[in-house]
């Protein structure tokens, strides 16, 4: 330091000193570290070098030893690799990352302890990823995020293929479309009647086929958010056949419908009454459309009342009777009847609390 050897581990040797402490490799003489002292305290500039003596990174520190002001990292060729600014150790303001040729790879902005904006670029300078702020924070976000009016922003892959098309206005995402590696539509997000709509597609025989649609109740969440109260969910098979549809009211599932790929109804589950405690009626069908089972359930999906199973010819095969829910919400099987395909009664039982059954006289069952 100041041309004189100093042991930085010995506080007595650095006490009261002001200047720039330089540390070199004993064998090569290459500079390894520079650190500023003010009145014996490490305060101000810090620089770190690689084994060849090339500058790797630098920063300034405050009285607490935390980063304060500009921080920078460098490539071996001397090009700036990363630059950011700190306030008492916390990143604040723009953060830039560049490749070895000086091409911008990523630009971000930090405030209030979090990242509020970022955009990433491929080697051709095309945006590959983007997160827009609620209000403009840098000149670069204005054309991308629609702060000068609605903007269509395309996102690309590393190779330059178009990966997504986004529409922003005042930082708010209005629509988004994504494509897969083969150039087929993979996902879509938009607002319809104030509600968020998310659609997912799959590639089937060289075509994009809609496989799922999720519609959310209107709220203040951003378009890409996957939370919130659902209004409807629909799913399709690879052939484009609707196979499932669920409807919701105030976040509660109120209707389930499923279909076989041949178009026949497979299941329909719907409330049998009003209110959150209403009973539920579920009907299950075979792939020929015939009713196979009818169930009555509590809101917690416990069987209650009469449950019915049917033979292939449409005649009733089994009927079970359940009681009302107990204090734990559980129900108990109380009666059971069976019939053969001709309609002949085979069994008529009462199920007792200990699990034993009491069969009516004259019926042997099978």
Residues 342-363 pLDDT 10s: 999 999 999 988 878 888 766 6
pLDDT at 358: 87
Task: Judge if 336 and 319 occupy the same domain.
Answer: yes
255 and 290 share a domain? no
> How many CA atoms lie less than 13 Å away from 242 in the CB half-sphere?
12
Please tell me whether residues 230 and 313 are part of one structural domain.
no
When the pLDDT of each residue in the chain is averaged and rounded to a whole number, the result is: 94
What are the CB-based long-range contacts (under 8 Å, 24+) for 39-45?
A: 40/11, 40/14, 40/15, 40/16, 45/20
Residues 228 and 197 in one domain: yes
**In this structure, is residue 365 part of a structural domain?**
yes
Domain span at residue 341 reads 271-366
Cα separation, 271 vs 279, in Å, equals 6
Task: State pTM to two decimals.
Answer: 0.80
- Note the pLDDT tens digit of each residue in 268-314: 999 887 766 778 999 999 999 999 999 999 988 899 999 999 999 99
Is the CA virtual torsion 212, 218, 224, 228 positive or negative?
negative
The CATH number that applies at residue 257 is 3.90.930.1
Question: In total, how many domains does the chain have?
Answer: 2
- The residue among 296, 343, 295, 291 whose CA lies nearest residue 317 is 343
Judge whether 35 lies within some domain: no
**Structure tokens given for 320:** 């079970």
Nearest to 308 by CA among 288, 284, 342: 284
pLDDT of residue 101: 96
356 & 281 share domain: yes
Q: Helix, strand, or coil here: 144?
A: helix
Note whether residue 190 is domain-resident: yes
Last residue of a domain, one of 223, 242, 263: 263
67: in domain: no
User: What does the block give as tokens for 324?
Assistant: 């009302």
């Amino acid at each position: 330091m100041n041309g004189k050897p100093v042991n930085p581990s010995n506080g007595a040797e650095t006490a009261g000193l002001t200047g720039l402490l330089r540390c070199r490799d004993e064998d090569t003489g290459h500079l390894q570290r520079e650190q500023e002292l003010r009145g014996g305290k490490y305060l101000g500039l810090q620089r770190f070098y690689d084994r060849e003596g090339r500058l790797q990174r630098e920063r300034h520190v405050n009285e607490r030893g935390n980063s304060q002001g500009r921080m920078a990292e460098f490539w071996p060729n001397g090009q700036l690799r990363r630059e950011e600014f700190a306030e008492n150790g916390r990143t604040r303001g723009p953060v830039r990352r560049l490749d070895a040729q000086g091409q911008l790879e990523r630009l971000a902005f930090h405030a209030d302890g979090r990242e509020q904006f970022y955009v990433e670029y491929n080697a051709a300078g095309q945006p590959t990823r983007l997160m827009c702020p609620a209000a403009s924070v840098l000149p670069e976000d204005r054309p991308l995020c629609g702060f000068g009016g609605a903007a269509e922003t395309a996102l690309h892959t590393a190779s330059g293929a178009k990966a997504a098309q986004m529409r922003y206005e005042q930082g708010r995402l209005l629509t988004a479309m994504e494509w897969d590696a083969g150039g087929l539509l993979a996902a879509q997000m938009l607002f319809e009647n104030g509600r968020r709509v998310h659609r997912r597609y799959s590639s089937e025989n060289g075509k994009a086929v809609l496989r799922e649609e999720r519609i959310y109740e209107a709220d203040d969440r951003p378009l890409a958010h996957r939370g919130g109260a659902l209004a409807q969910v629909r799913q399709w098979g690879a052939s484009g056949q609707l196979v499932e549809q669920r409807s919701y009211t105030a976040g509660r599932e109120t209707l389930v419908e499923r279909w076989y790929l041949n178009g026949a109804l497979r299941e329909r589950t719907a409330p049998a009454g009003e209110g959150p405690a209403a009973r539920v009626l579920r009907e299950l069908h075979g792939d020929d459309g015939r009713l196979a089972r009818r169930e009555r359930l509590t809101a917690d999906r416990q069987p209650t009342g009469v449950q019915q199973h049917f033979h292939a010819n449409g005649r009733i095969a089994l009927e079970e009777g359940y009681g009302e829910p107990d204090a734990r919400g559980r129900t108990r099987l109380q009666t059971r009847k069976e019939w053969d395909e001709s309609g002949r009664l085979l069994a008529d039982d009462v199920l007792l609390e200990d699990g034993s059954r009491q069969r009516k006289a004259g019926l042997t069952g099978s």
